[in-house]
């Protein structure tokens, strides 16, 4: 399969970038944390030297310039420029964050420099929808996009996510449970790059495009699925608005019935049928 361009927005430690590169694709990665960027440049130096990987060491924001970036002391994956996201983590006992200033760029600027991507993965802790809005103002419409959906977060903006995707011309969707991707371990993936035996890596977004699990849904089915996932979040998640003793009770009842407790977070994948 011919090499295609993938934009990885929120590289973290390269969990997804490495997967894309190993499948034979070219990658543009965006990462704001300067410590992680240094590690990424060392880890992927051979791909950078051949031009198969370009790293943009900036945050994605509404406007270019400089922005406060919060580095979580407990978990580097929670780095964010969204103060509300940082406060939520602190409220839930996930330690404090250090703040530094980093340069920022809009998603419009990224795709103007690197047009015609096949797939864009967006996972930037509280800023996914903002990034998608910026992309919507460009002419860029990759065949596939994924974001971390708010169906399993206090933000609860899944309706806005689906509406924006629709306005951009995307017409089929999947919600992928990120906590269950290890169930794909051992599967042969051969539809989106060179064949590989899948092995899930912690914090990775996982397969994309036609290799994602489940059936593609039209928007009405996707909306009903989102409502169900939202109800599960409100019932079983300690981060929901439901009082914690009630959440604990519902979780316990589900375990007593031998049923898995919905602890996962969900990525929303969108496909553009005009490609």
Residue for token pair 């206090």? 154
Three-state SS string over the chain comes to CCCCEEEEECCCCCHHHHHHHHCCCEEEEECCCHHHHHHHHHHCHHHHHCCCEEEECCEECCCCEEEEEEEECCCHHHCECCHHHHHHHHHCCCCCEEEEEEEEECHHHHHHHCCCCCEEEECCCCCHHHHHHHHHCCCCCCCEEEEECHHHCCCCCHHHHHHHHHHCCCCEEEEEEHHHHHHHCCCEECCCCCCEECCCCCCCCCCCHHHCCCCCECHHHHHHHHHHHHHHHHHHCCCCCCCHHHHHHHHHHHHHCCCCCCCCCEEEEEECCCC
The residues, any chain, with a CB within 8 Å of residue 38's CB and separated by 6 or more, are: none
| pLDDT exceeds 80 at position 106 | yes
**What average pLDDT does range 239-267 have in this prediction?**
84
**What average pLDDT does range 101-126 have in this prediction?**
95
In the chain, the percentage of residues whose pLDDT exceeds 70 is 96
**What average pLDDT does range 210-231 have in this prediction?**
96
| pLDDT exceeds 60 at position 93 | no
| pLDDT exceeds 80 at position 2 | no
Name the strands in the sheet holding 53-56, side by side, starting at the edge strand that comes first in the sequence. Answer: 53-56, 26-30, 5-9, 119-122, 144-148, 266-271, 172-177
Greater model confidence, 274 or 58: 58
Comparing C-alpha atoms, which of 32, 15, 20 is closest to residue 110?
A: 32
Q: What is the pLDDT of residue 87?
A: 72
| 24 φ/ψ sector (left φ>0, alpha ψ -120 to 50, else beta) | left
- Residue 63 sits at the vertex; the CA angle it makes with 141 and 135, to the nearest 5 degrees, is 10
| pLDDT exceeds 60 at position 71 | yes
**What average pLDDT does range 146-159 have in this prediction?**
88
- pLDDT category at 90 given cuts 50, 70, 90 is low
Greater model confidence, 117 or 62: 117
| pLDDT exceeds 90 at position 52 | yes
């Amino acid at each position: 399969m011919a090499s295609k361009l993938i934009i990885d927005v929120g590289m973290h430690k390269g969990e997804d970038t490495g997967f894309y590169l190993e499948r034979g694709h070219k990658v543009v990665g965006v990462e704001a944390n300067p410590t992680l960027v240094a590690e990424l440049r060392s880890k992927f130096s051979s791909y950078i030297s051949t031009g198969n990987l370009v790293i943009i060491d900036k945050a994605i924001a509404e406007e270019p310039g400089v922005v406060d970036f919060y580095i979580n002391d407990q978990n580097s994956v929670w780095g964010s420029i969204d103060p509300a996201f940082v406060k939520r983590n602190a409220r839930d006992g996930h330690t404090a964050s250090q703040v530094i200033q980093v340069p920022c760029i809009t998603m419009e600027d990224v795709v103007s420099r690197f047009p015609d991507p096949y797939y864009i993965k967006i996972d930037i802790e509280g800023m996914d929808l903002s990034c998608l809005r910026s992309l919507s103002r460009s002419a860029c419409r990759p065949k596939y996009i994924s974001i971390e959906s708010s169906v399993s977060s206090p933000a609860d903006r899944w309706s806005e996510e689906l509406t924006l995707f629709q306005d951009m011309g995307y017409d089929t969707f999947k919600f992928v449970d990120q906590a269950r991707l290890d169930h794909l371990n051992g599967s042969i993936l051969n539809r989106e790059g060179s064949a590989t035996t899948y092995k899930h890596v912690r914090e990775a977004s996982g397969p994309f495009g036609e290799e994602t699990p489940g059936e593609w849904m039209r928007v009405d089915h996707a909306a009903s699925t989102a409502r169900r996932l939202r109800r599960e979040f409100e019932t079983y998640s300690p981060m929901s608005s439901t009082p914690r003793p009630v959440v604990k009770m519902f979780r316990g009842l589900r375990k007593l019935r031998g049923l898995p407790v919905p602890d996962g977070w969900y990525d929303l994948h969108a496909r553009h049928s005009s490609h």
